[in-house]
Amino acid sequence: MNAIEVTGLSKHYGNSRGIIDVNLEVKEGEVFGFIGPNGAGKSTTIRTLLNLIHAEKGEARIFGLDCFAQSRKIKEQVGYLPSEVHYYDDMKVRELLKYSSGYYKKDCSERIDQLCTALELNVDKKLEELSFGNKKKVGIVQALLHQPRLLILDEPTSGLDPLMQNKFFEILREENRKGVTIFFSSHILTEVQRMCDRVAIIKEGRILKTESIDTLRSTTYKRIKIEFVKLENTAFEGFPGVVDRTDSENGMEFLYNGPIEAIVKKLYEYELRNLWVEEPQLEEIFMHYYQ
Amino acid sequence: MLLYKREIIRNGKSTMLWTAILLLYNISMLLLYPSMTGAMKDKMNLMLQAFPKEMIIAMGLDKVSITELLGFYNTYCYLLVTILGGIFAMLQGISVLSKEEDEKTIEFLLSKPITRNRIIFEKVSAVLTNILILNIVVSMISYVAIELVSSEAYSLKALLLLFLGPVLMQVTFAAVGLLISIFIVKARINIPVGVGIVLGLYFISILATVSEKADFLKYVTPFKYVDGADIINSKAIEPVYLAIMTAVTLACTFITRLIYNKKDIVA
């Protein structure tokens, strides 16, 4: 069974675009990345899945259940971490987590202790006293405490320092090993690169492509950086496959997608002082989709 | 009833504060009543005769006497119970749902296994409980104070209706507040709007009392539905007013439920 199945989902906010004809399929047990720049429609899609907003067209199912009609049942099995976390300022962390677990009618105290220790979260602090990063940790714990089958994470690492991010990814890997499906939205590609099996790329409300992370990284994109002996300003101008060119003091760098042989032949025409050929970051490949 | 409990705790201090204010005010006013005897009674009546006719009508003193227990209660206590109680109920109704959206905690709440109908049910139940707590405490202790200061017989039925009337009116205000909050979520806007509506309706009730031309306005304002002087005289709340309050309360709650279920939550 698929964990998430979305077909032809569309949503507008008045006259402005939300999402258009979004199709997604996330398999159970998969770590699925959902990438796109801010405003592309990631949160709109997620909020529709959680029945926070209502789509005009299309269908969305989680574990075979209808996201609109059977939302309550779905939420028993889903943990959600929103991109911006807001909690009740009058509560202490411990009270909020207890309150949160009350909705699942389970004793989650052991799990809460485990997670709070791992994330170094002080449960006796009032929520209004917490920094954004610490509130995010509360968000992580409340999303995980009831041991959901599906985790929906919207920009989960914003506000977490790199050490905490590592711990968070460790927790996610552990959950995934237990069979938990993870749906992970982000505009930071390296995160997605670290975690995900497949990604969907969303731009201006439409899904551009859904690919396995290996396919996305195995394209022939190379980042090429050149230092000339004698500056050649017009080199590679209009050369097929060269994009994203930036000139430096005595050289240039660009992203190249095309036959390696062709670029090597072209490079041979110039007197070079230095040459770097690197695997591009997923981010760079991703940027290319937006051009 | 997790959400219900949470709402009761969250609003506990506010309900206690409003209850304490009304209670202290009622008791201190009622303690003044024993001085309203003998020569003082005559002086008071003389003084009132000097008041403009409109003012006497506006205060309901053409129908009840300020020197009698229930008339005294109507003039000095009941007025504040209805106005402050009305504001309390309006604020309760207007903020109970919208607070979650205004403070953006609604995304947390709606990610839990709870339906929107259940959220409305538990939150509205909490508002009704708070209204009942305020009125039961204020009414019971005021009753004890009335018994302590009364030197003459009075209609218990009329007094009980003076205790019941504000409850019905407050429930109506809370339901109106609930509906307003569906459209105006921001507390800095919806709270002044809510208080403005209660005070506006109070002034409309004075207008409806004083001016014969504005008599039709009595159907518009809940303050007229539970007019103290009328209740004391007729020992009843008119069925037409009971019907209006029930209809408004049910309609507001029903429309709220309908819209809230379809509403996009964009926190």
pLDDT tens for each residue of B92-149: 999 999 999 999 999 999 999 999 999 999 999 999 999 999 999 999 999 999 999 9
Q: Which chain A residues have a beta carbon less than 8 Å from that of B264? A: 13, 52-54
Among residues A228, A257, A264, A231, which one has the least CA distance to residue A242? A257
Tokens of A255: 């992203």
Bridge partners (DSSP) of residue A272 are: A228
pLDDT at A217: 66
Q: What is the pLDDT of residue B47?
A: 79
B239-262 vs B116-149: helix axis angle to the nearest 10? 150
The pair of structure tokens assigned to A97 is 């987590």
Residue A134: the pLDDT is: 95
For residue A50, list chain B residues with Cβ-Cβ distance below 8 A. Answer: 110-111
At B64, the pLDDT band (50, 70, 90 cuts) reads confident
Residues of B within 8 A of A16 (CB-CB) are: none
**C-beta of residue A224 within 8 angstroms of C-beta of residue A253:** yes
Q: Which residues of A touch B111 (CB under 8 A)?
A: 50, 75, 78, 80, 82
Round to whole Å and give the CA distance between A205 and B150.
Answer: 73
The answer to whether the beta carbons of residues A42 and A9 sit under 8 Å apart is no
Residue B201, pLDDT score: 96
Instruction: Give CA–CA dist B209/B218, Å, rounded.
Output: 8
Helix (DSSP H) and strand (DSSP E) numbers for chain B: 13, 0
In this prediction, residue B164 carries a pLDDT of 97
Sign of CA dihedral A204, A209, A213, A216: negative
* Nearest neighbour of B114 by CB, restricted to A72, A85, A142: A72
Interface predicted TM-score (ipTM): 0.88
The closest of A261, A258, A263, A254 to A284, measured between CA atoms, is: A254
Q: Tell me the average pLDDT across B247-260.
A: 97
CB count in 10 Å sphere of residue B199: 14
Residues A127 and A173 in one domain: yes
Q: What long-range pairs does B9-17 form, CB within 8 A, spacing at least 24?
A: B10/A88, B10/A90, B11/B92, B11/B126, B11/B130, B15/B130, B15/B133, B15/B134
Shared-domain flag, residues A70 and A182 = yes
Domains: count for chain B: 1
A63 touches chain B (CB under 8 A): no
Instruction: Verify that A132 and A261 share a domain, yes or no.
Output: no
pLDDT for position B99: 95
Of B104, B113, B265, the CB nearest to A53: B265
Q: By CB neighbour count within 10 A (0-12 exposed, 13-18 middle, 19+ buried), where does B56 fall?
A: middle
Mention every residue, 6+ apart, whose C-beta is less than 8 A from residue B212: none
Q: The domain containing residue A254 runs over which residues?
A: 222-289
- Is the CB of B264 less than 8 angstroms away from the CB of A52? yes
First to last CA, chain B: 24
Average pLDDT, chain B: 93
Q: How confident is the model at residue B24 (pLDDT cuts 50, 70, 90)?
A: very high
Query: Shortest CB distance from A103 goes to which of B114, B265, B267?
Result: B114
Residue of chain B whose Cα is closest to the Cα of A74: B113
Is the same domain home to A74 and A45? yes
CA–CA gap between residue A123 and residue A109 (Å, rounded): 12
Q: Say yes or no: A154 and A198 in one domain.
A: yes
H or E segment and range at residue B92: helix B79-96
A50 near B CB under 8 A:
yes
Residue-range definition of the domain harbouring residue B178: 2-262
B266 CB near a chain A CB, below 8 Å? yes
Alpha-carbon dihedral angle through residues B34, B39, B41, B44, given to the nearest 10 degrees: -120
CA distances, B71 to each of A13, B5, B62, B162, B224 (Å): 57, 39, 10, 11, 16
**How far apart, in whole angstroms, are the C-alpha atoms of residue B106 and residue B99?**
8
Cβ within 8 Å, pair A86-B266: no
Q: What is the DSSP letter of B103?
A: T
Q: What is the distance in angstroms between the CA of the first residue and the CA of the last residue of chain A?
A: 36
What digits encode the pLDDT tens for the residues B157-199? 999 999 999 999 999 999 999 999 999 999 999 999 999 999 9
Last residue of a domain, one of A201, A217, A233: A217
Q: How far is B110 from chain A (nearest CA, A)?
A: 7
DSSP readout, chain A? -EEEEEEEEEEEETTEEEEEEEEEEEETT-EEEEE--TTSSHHHHHHHHTTSS--SEEEEEETTEETTTTHHHHHTTEEEE-SS----TTSBHHHHHHHHHHTTTS--HHHHHHHHHHTT--TTSBGGG--HHHHHHHHHHHHHTT--SEEEEESTTTT--HHHHHHHHHHHHHHHHTT-EEEEEES-HHHHHHH-SEEEEEETTEEEEEEEHHHHHTSS-EEEEEEESS--TTTTTT-TTEEEEEE-SSEEEEEE-S-HHHHHHHHTTS-EEEEEEEPPPHHHHHHHHT-
B265: nearest CA in chain A?
A52
| Cβ pair B120, B257 in contact under 8 A | yes
Q: Quickly list DSSP for B183-236.
A: H---HHHHHHHHHHHHHHHHHHHHHHHH-STTGGGGGT-HHHHT-HHHHHHHSS
Under 8 Å between Cβ of A137 and A85: no
Across the interface, whether the CB atoms of B113 and A75 are under 8 A apart is answered: yes
Q: Which of A249-258, B30-39, B255-264 has the lowest mean pLDDT?
A: B30-39
Q: Which amino acid is at A122?
A: N
Among A217, A233, A251, residue at a domain's last position:
A217
Rounded to an integer, the average pLDDT of B72-97 is 95
Q: How far apart are CA A34 and CA A46, in angstroms?
A: 10
Residues A233 and A172 in one domain: no
Nearest CA in chain B to A87: B105
Give the closest of A88, A90, A104 to B113, CB-based. A104
The number of distinct structural domains making up chain A is: 2
A201 and A75 fall within a common domain: yes
Residue among B107, B121, B261 with most chain A CBs within 10 A, to mutate: B107
The three-class DSSP label of residue B47 is helix
| Boundary (domain end) residue, out of A217, A245, A271 | A217
Lowest model confidence (mean pLDDT) among A128-142, A188-202, B11-25, B223-237: A188-202
Chain B residues within an 8 Å CB radius of A132: none
Q: Are residues A98 and A204 in the same domain?
A: yes
Q: CA of A12 to nearest chain B CA: how many angstroms apart?
A: 11
Q: Is residue B14 part of a domain?
A: yes
Q: What is the length of chain B? A: 267
| A238 Rama class: left (phi>0) / alpha (psi -120 to 50) / beta | left
Longest CA–CA separation in chain B, Å = 68
Q: Which residues of chain A have pLDDT under 50?
A: none
Mean pLDDT, residues B234-253: 97
The verdict on A174 and A136 lying in the same domain is yes
Alpha-carbon distance of A148 to A258, in angstroms, equals 44
Asked if A263 and A141 sit in the same domain, the reply is: no
3-class secondary-structure state, position B51? coil
For A103, the closest of B10, B105, B112 (CB atoms) is B112
The answer to whether the CB of A65 falls within 8 A of the CB of A3 is no
Beta-carbon contacts below 8 Å between A and B: 62
Same domain (yes/no): A245, A207:
no
Q: What is the pTM of this model?
A: 0.87
Indicate whether B58 belongs to any domain. Answer: yes
The verdict on A181 and A252 lying in the same domain is no
d(CA A62, CA A50): 9
**Tens digit of each residue's pLDDT (9 = 90 or more) over A234-282:** 888 889 989 888 888 889 999 898 888 999 999 998 999 999 998 776 6
